[in-house]
Amino acid sequence: MTLLCIDSIYKNFKKELETGVFEVILVDNGSEKENREKLEKEIGKRNYKNLLLILNNENAGFSTGCNIGAKKAKGDLFLFLNNDIIVEDRGFLEMSLFFEKTSDASVVGADMKNTDGSRQLSYGNFLDPFQLSLFLLGIEKIGFWGLRNPSRVDWVKGSLMMVRRSVFEKLEGFDENIFMYVEDMEFCYRARKNNFFTYFYPSVSATHKDQGSSNRSFAVVNIYKNILYFYKKHKSSFEYNLAKNLLITKAKSLIFLSTITNNSYLKQTYEKALRVI
């Protein structure tokens, strides 16, 4: 999956990479020895230009991995890209030009597709209690399919996120207390508090295999944990307790449902989620 992602980047930006206009920094977050050796071997065999491979001894999490890569980057713009994405055009160049034209743009995300060609929810509203309720009910997508032009939004997915270097450094990167999931919303929230704005830019073609580097159970547990961390860090004690009760209610409801339907995977997943909150 990682090599497919890198291949798609080099296919579309061969000239920029060969001339040093772009660089690729690949952070291996503590892969198993066998996989790491295969990755190193294939990268050497393919002779990618301007690619720096960083080998972490442990999986320190998505946020820390991104921060490690950013410290080695030379450019004025950082593009954070998941390894489960296939780049299909040269839209990243248009995104970089959008920064030049839009002085208040500090973070820009793109319109990603699912593997079946359908549009993915690539941006969203900050999760205040009302938005959190919609999210937990699974109806947060309502009203999010109409943006066809660059538009200011609350936050964009970190799986494909371009950020001004100056902004990223001022905010001291992603919050490393967040291992994975919700780190993108939390970063954009801090950006907004510092009067840095986030935009959704639809004119990029990329396919994202969502949760390609994790699984649903891992995602649910970490989303629960990190939503509560977000509230503890940024919201009042009243909002924190309200969010906690909403999360507990959703988890207990699904545990009850999974018991009736004999769905052991769902039951175990939300029992784990309850333990982290």
pLDDT band at 143 (very low <50, low <70, confident <90, very high): low
Helix/strand/coil percentages in the chain, nearest 5: 50, 20, 30
Is-contact 98 109, C-beta < 8 A?
no
Task: State the CATH class of domain 2-208.
Answer: alpha beta
- In the block, tokens 């990479």 appear at 17
Average pLDDT, the chain: 93
pLDDT given for residue 120 in this prediction: 87
Specify the pLDDT at position 141. Answer: 75
pLDDT of residue 47: 87
Lowest mean pLDDT among 108-117, 119-128, 213-222: 213-222
Over residues 167-215, the pLDDT tens digits come to 999 999 999 999 999 999 999 999 999 999 999 998 888 999 865 555 7
pLDDT per residue as tens digits for the range 226-268: 999 999 999 999 999 999 999 999 999 999 999 999 999 999 9
Q: Which long-range contacts (CB under 8 A, 24 or more apart) does 51-58 make?
A: 51/6, 51/17, 51/23, 51/24, 51/25, 51/26, 52/23, 52/24, 52/25, 52/26, 53/26, 53/28, 54/25, 54/26, 54/27, 54/28, 55/28, 56/27, 56/28, 56/29, 56/30, 57/30, 58/29, 58/30
Rounded to two decimals, the pTM is 0.94
- At residue 146, does pLDDT exceed 70? no
Least confident range from 111-115, 117-121, 258-262: namely 117-121
Residues near 229 by beta carbon (within 8 Å), at least 6 away in sequence: 177, 178, 182
Domains of the chain, residue spans:
2-208, 216-276
